[in-house]
Structure 1
Amino acid sequence: MSIQQRAISIASGLGFGVVLLGGGVLFAALPNAPAAAEMSNYSVTKVEAPRLLKVSALHLEPAGMGTFYFTIAVPASYGKSIEAIRISQIPGGDRIIDLEANESKVVIGPRVTRNSEAIPLSAIGGPEDETGALTLAFAQPVVPGTTFTVAVEAERNPTSGGIYQFGVTVYPVGESTTGHYIGTGRVTFNSD
């Protein structure tokens, strides 16, 4: 490809007209192309999606009582408040872990402590299907720039050790039918 052909290709991609003059190339702005000063007013905003930071369990002994913790960050750049969360077990362990929906607690912050600020729940649903999924709706949406933790009691831990996986979906305000899948968390239980 000659220098002139490359110049024509580059110029047309940038919205310039090209005129060939005696072996040289002359660029001319096209009437509908934005001027350089206009283009400098455009900016790109990076929007980060909510993300699952951590999934853990308080007790990892087989068949014991268990509490599961799901920590979620809603970045300030996301721009949408979260009104609900759905947690479902991904098949693969020896059984579905029965999560006690009515024993759920949601707090602001990366961990549950005695002094944690609770997020009131307006509705609790579950277990809903063969995955033992449960859905928690917040009385007041969780605003962008917040990290929160969901604590869910289990009827009992699995009877044998192994890796158990949970999928987490958040529902932004006004998008309650679709939701955004934010990740899979794994909990490894000890063997007998």
Structure 2
Amino acid sequence: MRYEVDAASGRVHLTARYAGATDAPTLPAFGLEWTLPKQYENLRFYGLGPEETYHDRLHGGKLGIFERTAAEDNAPYLVPQETGNHEDVRWAEVLDAQGHGMRISQAGSEHFAASLLPYSSLMLEEATHQNELPPVRHTFLRLLAAQMGVGGDDSWGAPVHEQYQLPADRAYTLDVNLELF
């Protein structure tokens, strides 16, 4: 991972690279997840929305500027799981109630995926029921270069089709600019 700070503007250019590994299985996702103070619960983005979209669920999304909250993007599935992802994002803003926050924008030619949730990926994975999720104390911002599809297109539990998986031997790069305002 590389951070380049422009002292004059305060902009941070972040590049995270995965070179690929031939001895690894497929990847669920490649990117970053940050813990933020709870008051940063609003997500405004230019990408596919307004509801969640995934690599194998793009057709239901429309390209536009959308506003969501961390709570709105947390689907109350019986068994907590991946939720709230937005694909083909060009820029996203994480905001508090006063409109202060951070803007993330694509630095290169590749769009990214983003989500803002009241729970981390690990919290969602470890809980087997909604009541096992902890009280909300933070929000969690995920910025992804790539994420596999969710599968389940012909029945509950159907595997992810091969074209929507992330081969571990392929390189992935997340290339974004960060600005506080």
TM-score, structure 1 as length reference: 0.25
Larger radius of gyration: 1
Higher relative contact order (CA 8 A, sep 6+): 2
Of Structure 1 and Structure 2, the greater strand share is in: 1
TM-score, structure 2 as length reference: 0.26
